[in-house]
Structure 1
C-alpha cells in the first residue's frame, strides 16, 4: 500500500477515554489553544534571532515543549511568563550562537519538530543527534535528509538516513533548488531553515501548495521570502534574524477547533462559537470540506493577528451529506481527516477520499487505524491505499473498545464519533492528546460533550 509503514501498533501510551452518546445539544463559546505549527516555528525563529522575543498564545503541548527544550539544551534562555506556559520570553542567540548539546536532542512525538530541526541543525558547525519516541522513530525522514545532504550537511541514521536517530554534522551549506515529491510543509520549512545558512539563493517547488506559516513568520524576523506566481519559493539569506519589536501572537489552532466543529455539526440542536481561529487558506481545508458536506459554518469578526487571518467560527448542527473530496483540499486538511472520517460515517451518502496517502505516515497509519476504530463502532468504511470510501449511517452502534495507538488525533476523532453512538465507546491509548491539546476533555465537557477519563 504505497508509503504504508508499521505505525498501526506504534504506541502504547495508556489512558482510556469513555465517550458518548451526547445527552443533548452542544452549546457555548470555546477558546482552543494556540496553533501547534506556529508555536513550533515561533520558538525556532526567536531562538535563532538576535534580541528578545515575547510569544503569546503558545501551545503548551508536549510536542511544542520538546521544541523549546531542544533550544534550551543548545544554550537558549527561555523564560515562561505564566504558569500555563502560554506566554514566554526567548533570549535569542543569533543564527550562529547555538552550542553543541551535551546529549541527544529528544523530539518526543513531534514530527514537525524533528523535520524542521533537521534544517536548523544542518547549518550548525557542530555535530548533534536527534531522536524521538517509538512512534516517531518509525516515521520517514529521507524526505528532509536528502535535501540537506545535497546542501552539504552530513547525516547518518537508520535505513540510510530514513529513520531516527539522526546524527547531523552541519557546516557551510550551498543553496539548491529543491523539487519536493510530497506536498509537505515540513519538507518546505526544513529547506528554508537550512537556506538561512546557505551560500546563494535557495529555491523550491512543491506539488501542491502547503501551509505557509514559515513563509509568513520569517519576514517578522527580518528575513524576506519570495513566492512567485508559479509557486516557486525563494530565500536569499540575510545572515541575521532580528527579534521583532512587537510580541508574536499565535492564533487559536484550526486543527483543534475542527473536533468541536464536527461534533456540533453532528449533534442535533447544537450551536457553538470557536473564538479567534486561524483561517489561513492553507489550514482551512477542513472548513471547505465540511462546507461541501453541508455543514452550517459561519465566520464572524474576521481580522489579522500578525500576518495570519483569524475569525470567530460559529457552527450549528445540520444534516451532513457526503462528497468526493477535492484533491486540492487534501494538503490543507491533512491533519483533520481523522475527525472528518467521523463526520462522513454519520453523513448521508458515499464519502470518497483519494490522494491522501500521506495519512499513512503520521503518528499512526491514520487510514488503517481510523478504519479499524470506526468499523468496530459500527461504521461502514472501506480502507483504500490512498484514502477511504465511507457509506454514511444514521448513527453508530458503539458499545465497543477501540485503540488510538498513541495517536492524539485518532483519540479525539473517536470521542467526536461517539457523540452519535447508541452506547459508549472506550478509547484506549488516548493519553497522547497531551501532545497537542492538553485541555481537550475539559473543553469538550464544558460545551456538553459526553467524555471522561476512565480513572478521573
Structure 2
C-alpha cells in the first residue's frame, strides 16, 4: 500500500471547541460479516450503511472470487447473492486479504471445510501478522492448512481435508472474536458439536449475525456451541450500525478539547464493544446516550459528548476484549487527564497492524513525553504539568495510529503525520470530517 502515501498531513492545534454532528460510518466488523454471511445464503441481501473501507472491500473481492455476486449500488449500499451454504466455488486466483486480518482469519474458518484449494495472500503488513492461533484450532478439527514460518504466516494455503471436519471443544487461551468466529464458521460444516469457551466474552457480532441467518446457538457461561447446518436463511436487508471504534476518536477529542460538544449519530453500542464508554466514564467524561434503538440484531444510539475534566484510571485484561482497538485513542485521553493511567493485559496490541504499544510510546512521546511502554500495556502520566510540543510522527501505515495522532495534534500543539492516508483502511472520510469541525 506504500504507493498511496505521497504527502504528509499537518494537523494544527484547534483554537476553539469542537461543535456539530457527525454520522459515524458503518461498523467495520459488521460490514465484513454482512458480506461473508450473505454470500452463504441463496437469496439477495441488501446491505446498507456498509463501510467502503479498504479492509471491507478486501472481503468483497474475496467473496466475489468464491462465486458470490456482489452488486455495488453505491459506496455504502450493495446487494449480495450467494449460491447457498455449500455453494462456494474454487477461486481461479489468489485470495487477496489486503491489510485485513478479519478477512483472512474468518475466511480460513469458512474455507477449511471446503473441497477445493484456496491460497491467501495480503499486503506486507498482513504477511507479518501471526495466524497460528487460528490455524491451530482449525487443524485440531481436521483442517489442512499450510503456511510460512511453521504454518503461522502468509502466504497460506487451505487444502481439502479429504473428510468432514470434526466438532470439538476449544478452550481459548485468550479471548478473540476473530479466532472464535473462525471456529464457529468451520462448525457450520463440521460433524457433531463445535464449542468455543472464552476466558472473557469478546465481541459477539458473529453470534448475532448467525442467529439473524437462522442458526441456533447454545450458550453456557462464556461457552458457545454450534451444530452443522443444511442452509442459512438470509434476511432481506442488513443495516450496518455506525462503528464505535471510529466514534472513539471523536469521543476522546471532544472530551479533552475545551468548550466542545459533539453529537455522534448512529453508533453501535453492542455491550461487547462499549469498553471505551466504560473507561471514559470512569475517567469523568460527560457522555450521554440518546435515541437508543435497534439496527437489525445490533443495539444503536446517538451519543452526546461534551468536554470534561478527566482523571487517570487503571484497567486490564478483563475489559480488554471490549476495547483493545480503542487503546490508542484512550492513550490521548490519559495524556490530558490529571493523574496516572495504567493499562495492563493489552499484549495483543503488539501483533496488530504494527506493534501498537511500541508505536504509541515511540510516536506520542514526541508530542508529550509522558508515556512508558510495558510488556503488555502502558503507563501514562497525565495532567496540566505535561508540556506539549509540535512534532513529526510516523503512522506505521496503521490507520488507528494515524487517526489518534491527528486528535492528539488537534488537542495538543499540532502534529505532522507521515504516511497519513492509511485511515482509508477503516475511516476513509476521517480527515474530511475533521476539517469540518475546525
TM-score, normalization by structure 1: 0.93
Q: Which range moved further: 321-330 or 110-119?
A: 321-330
Query: What residue in structure 2 maps to residue 173 of structure 1?
Result: 165
The residue aligned with 1:61 is: 53
1:336 maps to 326
- Decide whether the 8 Å contact of 2:40 with 2:84 is kept in 1: yes
Contact 2:316–2:345 at 8 Å: present in 1 too? no
1:331 and 1:78 mapped to 2: Cα distance? 31
Give the drift of 1:287.
0.6
From 369, 372, 375, the counterpart of 2:365: 375
Residue aligning to 2:225 = 234
Query: Post-superposition shift, 1:148?
Result: 1.0
RMSD: 1.3
1:322 matched to 2:312: yes
- Equivalent in the alignment of 1:401: 392
Decide whether the 8 Å contact of 1:12 with 1:406 is kept in 2. Answer: no
Question: Aligned pair 1:184/2:166, yes or no?
Answer: no
Alpha-carbon shift at residue 396 of structure 1 (Å): 4.8
Q: Does the CA contact (< 8 Å) of 2:189 and 2:229 recur in 1?
A: no
Aligned position for 1:204: 196
Structure 2 CA distance for partners of 1:36 and 1:396, relative to 1, 3 Å: farther
Is 1:11–1:135's contact at 8 Å kept on the other side of the alignment? no
Q: Look up the SS of the partner of 1:419 in the other structure.
A: helix
Q: Indicate conservation of the 8 Å contact 1:347/1:392, yes or no.
A: yes
Match of 1:38 in 2: 30
The alignment covers a number of residue pairs equal to 434
Query: Is 1:152 aligned with 2:142?
Result: yes
Given the two structures, how large is their TM-score scaled by the length of structure 2? Answer: 0.97
Task: Specify the alignment match of 2:284 in structure 1.
Answer: 294
Question: For each residue in 1:375-407, what CA deviation from the matched residue of structure 2 results, as whole angstroms up to 9, or x when unmatched?
Answer: 111230000000010101336523211101000
| Partner deviation per Cα, 1:67-119 (whole Å, 9 max, x = no partner) | 0100111111111112xx21110111112211111111000000111000110
- Residue 326 of structure 1 deviates from its aligned partner by 4.6
Question: Structure 1, residues 18-65: CA drift from partner, whole Å, max 9, x if none?
Answer: 113012110001001100000000111000112111111110000000
Following TM superposition, by how much is the alpha carbon of 1:16 offset from its aligned partner in structure 2, in angstroms?
A: 1.9
Q: Deviations over 1:408-442 (max 9, x none)?
A: 000000111112223x2111122111010000011
> 1:202-281, aligned counterparts within 5 Å?
202-228=194-220, 230-244=221-235, 246-281=236-271
Any idea what SS the aligned residue of 2:313 has?
coil
Matched, 1:353 2:343: yes
Aligned pair partner of 2:407 in 393, 408, 416: 416
User: Quick one: which of 14, 20, 37 aligns to 1:22?
Assistant: 14
4+ runs of 1 displaced by more than 4 Å?
Answer: 10-13
Q: Which runs of 5+ in 2 are unaligned?
A: none
- Distance in 2, matches of 1:307 and 1:227, equals 17
CA contact (8 A) 1:121 1:169 kept: no
CA contact under 8 A between 2:284 and 2:311: conserved in structure 1? Answer: yes
Kept in 1: contact 2:244–2:267 (CA 8 A): yes
Query: Are the equivalent residues in 2 in contact too, given 1:302–1:310 (CA < 8 A)?
Result: yes
Aligned to 1:127: 117
Equivalent pair of 1:201/1:235 in contact (CA under 8 Å):
yes
**2: CA distance between counterparts of 1:272 and 1:439?**
17
Distance across 2 between alignment mates of 1:177 and 1:170: 22
Per-residue deviation, 1:122: 0.4
